[in-house]
Amino acid sequence: MESITISRDGQQYGPYTLEQVNGYLVTGNLVPSDLAWNAQTSVWVPLASLPGIQFTAPPPPVPRQRNAVVLVLMAVVWWLAIFFFSFIVACFLAGMVVGIMHPGDLQAGLEARRTIPSLLGLPLLFVTLGLSIWLTVIGKLPGTRK
């Protein structure tokens, strides 16, 4: 049995048998660029250059297919969340502006309460719909990642 000593970052490990080294290469505990020494070498050499070393590169990750139905549902869920949150925030901010501009004017507040949602609703509907579709397609929202 041939014994192989491994060196990585100034630390020495081993000695290991050839079978152990090949097993560690497959699991990723050793890499082909680690330095190795055995009785047949007079200097430290890259592990990949030793005779009998067998390493296989890990297979590339399998691309995960994104289900179109799930993406559409997630786009709708995120659209509703973004729309209602932004609508509430926009109405709150607009109400604050009206309150600052017309302090104590109850009529202005009531008129703003009727007008602001009708002015903000449709534009926010389309902006948030476009935003949720775009963020879903590029995979930036939870549940939609590539």
What is the C-alpha separation between 21 and 52, in angstroms, rounded? Answer: 10
Query: Mind listing the pLDDT tens digit of every residue in the chain (146 residues)?
Result: 478 899 988 889 889 998 898 888 888 888 888 999 888 887 899 888 888 888 666 667 777 777 778 778 888 888 888 888 888 888 888 878 877 888 877 787 778 777 877 787 788 888 888 888 888 888 777 767 76
By residue range, what is the domain housing residue 33?
3-49
The amino acid sitting at 104 is G
Q: Is residue 144 part of a domain?
A: no
Please tell me the pTM assigned to this model: 0.43
pLDDT value of residue 126: 86
Q: Is residue 142 part of a domain?
A: no
Q: Is residue 109 part of a domain?
A: yes
Q: Is residue 59 part of a domain?
A: no
Are residues 40 and 76 located together in one domain of the fold? no
What is the C-alpha separation between 24 and 5, in angstroms, rounded? Answer: 13
Are residues 44 and 86 located together in one domain of the fold? no
By the 8 A CB rule, do 36 and 5 touch? Answer: yes
Identify the CATH number of the domain in which residue 39 sits.
3.30.1490.40
3-state secondary structure 74-111: HHHHHHHHHHHHHHHHHHHHHHHHHHHHCCCCHHHHHH
111 Cα distance to chain centroid: 45
Are residues 133 and 93 located together in one domain of the fold? yes
